A and B are shown apart, each in its own frame.
Chain A
């Protein structure tokens, strides 16, 4: 693995995992807002 590949892989892993967590949070929040709307009705 060259230095460039190493740096790219490490940065990608960091940001992809952060992105996946934020996506999971977003999908959870969307579900909650749907439930909240149902409760309001």
Chain B
């Protein structure tokens, strides 16, 4: 149905779709999903914490791929995608760390335990904070794009490090959902459906924010190049 909605109309309709999907996700998180056997209602935090972590991984992966494509093609479009995605990834990473720390206080008694997952996620956040700081420090457009592309590729190492920390290292962080056999996952279907819906809702929100951020930076670039031409 949506392929029939063109350009400008889609821009107006997309935020409404996001709002409705997020509303449905909130309903499922707080009212539809049943309490968990051991954690009770406090486990509902995962429906906000986990999608935020997933979106930050997704955003940093976009930064990684765009950085490679920039170095390969030298097209500034990829640099724009890489920086916008890193900024949003950082936002969702901060949300993940804060929400995780609050849950840790309730479940483990401390906001910060230096647990391998907490520590590696902090490293991930600092890596992309460094990426953005470097970008802000360099004025020359080409140099900035080249240096930050290399950083965007290097910083990506922290993602498998963060994800695999619960599998490889001794941690008290809950394990990720891994299928125990073909198409069989060890959680209640209602909980899984809620998790998938909330992940879908946050991903939609991210894609919309990503689109706006890219458009904004593209316009700033255009203004700068027009100004430079006027000076010449």
Contact = CB atoms under 8 A, between A and B. Distances in A.
Interface of A: 1, 3, 6-7, 9-11, 13-14, 17-18, 21-22, 25, 28-29, 32, 35-36, 39
Closest 4 CB pairs of A and B: A3-B41, A10-B99, A10-B45, A3-B42
B194 interface: no
15 contacts: A3-B41, A6-B45, A7-B30, A7-B41, A7-B45, A10-B45, A10-B99, A10-B103, A13-B95, A17-B91, A18-B205, A21-B88, A22-B209, A28-B216, A32-B219
B29 to A, nearest CB: 8
B161 interface: no
A10 B43 CA distance: 12
A21 B209 contact: yes
A8 B216 CA distance: 32
Given A3-B40, A11-B48, A21-B91, 14 more contacts: A1-B102, A1-B105, A6-B106, A7-B44, A10-B99, A10-B102, A13-B102, A17-B98, A18-B205, A18-B209, A25-B209, A32-B220, A39-B223, A39-B227
Residues of B in contact with A, size category: 20 to 34
Interface of B is mostly: helix
Interface of B: 26, 30, 40-42, 44-45, 48-49, 52, 88, 91, 94-95, 98-99, 102-103, 105-106, 205, 209, 212-213, 216, 219-220, 223, 226-227
Contacts of B102: 1, 6, 9-10, 13
Given A10-B49, A13-B102, A36 B219 contact: yes
